[in-house]
Amino acid sequence: MMSKSGSCGSCAFFDEHSAAAAAGHEGLCRFNPPVSQPTAEAHGLWPVVTEKDWCGHFAPETTAGAVAAE
Ligand code: SF4
């Protein structure tokens, strides 16, 4: 099992989106583009995750910050 330090809450791709956060300690995962666009007029959806979720794409915030600065 992954440690808490490797969870979404400390991942570079975790976005504390206000609407999602209003529903609890949740945010959006920005690793991939939006998915599952239901219709042509609808917005794509970002996966909603909690701070304690995790996945194999976890990246420490410091690592991604260094990449973004290039
Ligand atoms: S789902 Fe994976 S990539 Fe997305 S915020 Fe969580 S650990 Fe990071």
Dist. CA 30–CA 32, nearest whole Å: 6
Q: Kindly report, residue by residue over 16-59, the tens digit of the pLDDT.
A: 877 656 667 789 999 999 887 778 888 888 899 999 999 999 99
Find out whether 49 and 8 touch, Cβ atoms under 8 Å: yes
| Closest-lying ligand 1 atom to the alpha carbon of residue 53 | 6
Q: How far is the CA of 62 from the centre of ligand 1 (A)?
A: 14
Please give the Cα distance from 17 to 30 (Å, whole number): 11
Examine the pLDDT at 4 and tell me if it is beyond 60.
no
Ligand 1 shell residues, CB under 6 Å: 8, 11, 13-14, 29, 31, 49, 53-55, 57-58
Residue 1: its pLDDT value, please? 53
H helices of 26-69, in order, are: 61-68
